[in-house]
Structure 1
Amino acid sequence: MQGSNSGDANVPSLEGAIRNPNNPNHLMVIRRVRRTVSVHVGDTLIAQTQDALRVLEMGKSLYDPAIYIPASDIIASLEPVDKSTHCPLKGDASYVSFNGNEIAWTYDRPLEGSRQLAGHFAFWPDKVRITEGD
């Protein structure tokens, strides 16, 4: 559901915001990253893209931005982890590991408003190094 101001003075109005239909204060904005994004584990380059998405999300608080990389730009072999979670805004996520360490997730079963994230992986920033360059 694309967001617009609902008329409630307590609900922030953000152009293009995607809102949780059951909680209008839980929202996200998806923006294209206009720079090359690289993801490393240690010295190993595991992903590089010019088509990353940045997700800015607000729920109980303002969450750290997440960078989503298209699966086609993942260089390393990622292994599925037997774990899934549900987000009422984005959908159902599956998790992956690299060299036995869980490092990323993907919304492989996204909700309608979050379909833009399908086929993308987001990485835990404390487990990888994400850089943006020209």
Structure 2
Amino acid sequence: MTAEILERAGTPTHPITVEKAPGPVTLSRGGAVLARTDSALILREAAYPPVYYLPKSAVDPAVLSPAEKVTHCPYKGDAAHWKIALPGGGVADPGAWSYEEPIEGMTSIRGHLGFYLNALDAAFDPPAA
């Protein structure tokens, strides 16, 4: 199955693609589902591991709050970071990031969240290829 590429950006030595995830994606912590969507995206950037971006609407807004951290990517723009209130207590700070106004060529990730997998015991379950 060939992935549907939504956008291409970057440079020949730092390529970036955004594609639709091939099926449902679930994000969980300690067995509790934080988000589930059929509308996830996969961002592939240079030699980095692929990153799933889930629509913000797939995450309960009650578990998200702005973090103080802001970063900049020359290929995607300024990233706002988010705290995630975790099931059973605790907070992942930051636990996610988003590009509220991504650079032209990366606009498909607007309205989506990427997640720090080292901050969560996240489990993504796309279908087997």
Query: Does the pair score TM above 0.5?
Result: yes
- Among 79, 98, 104, the residue aligned to 1:112: 104
Q: Larger relative contact order (C-alpha < 8 A, sep ≥ 6)?
A: 2
* CA shift in 2, pair 1:133/1:67, >3 Å: closer
Q: In the alignment, does 2:70 pair up with 1:70?
A: no
Structure 1 runs of 4+ off > 2 angstroms?
Answer: 15-20
* CA shift in 2, pair 1:77/1:17, >3 Å: closer
Instruction: Provide the residue aligned with 2:23 in structure 1.
Output: 35
| Maintained 8 Å contact 1:19/1:89 | yes
TM-score of the superposed pair, with normalisation by structure 2: 0.80
Query: Quick check: which has more Rg, 1 or 2?
Result: 1
Paired residue secondary structure (2:100)? strand
Cα RMSD between the aligned structures?
A: 1.9
Following superposition, the deviation at residue 133 of structure 1 comes to 4.5
Following superposition, the deviation at residue 16 of structure 1 comes to 7.0
| Maintained 8 Å contact 2:6/2:108 | no
| Maintained 8 Å contact 1:41/1:127 | no
Paired residue secondary structure (2:105)? helix
Q: In the alignment, does 2:82 pair up with 1:96?
A: yes
* CA shift in 2, pair 1:51/1:84, >3 Å: same
TM-score of the superposed pair, with normalisation by structure 1: 0.77
| Maintained 8 Å contact 2:7/2:19 | no
Q: Which runs of 5+ in 1 are unaligned?
A: 1-14
| Maintained 8 Å contact 1:55/1:67 | yes
Cα distance in structure 2, aligned partners of 1:16 and 1:73: 20
Cα distance in structure 2, aligned partners of 1:16 and 1:46: 26
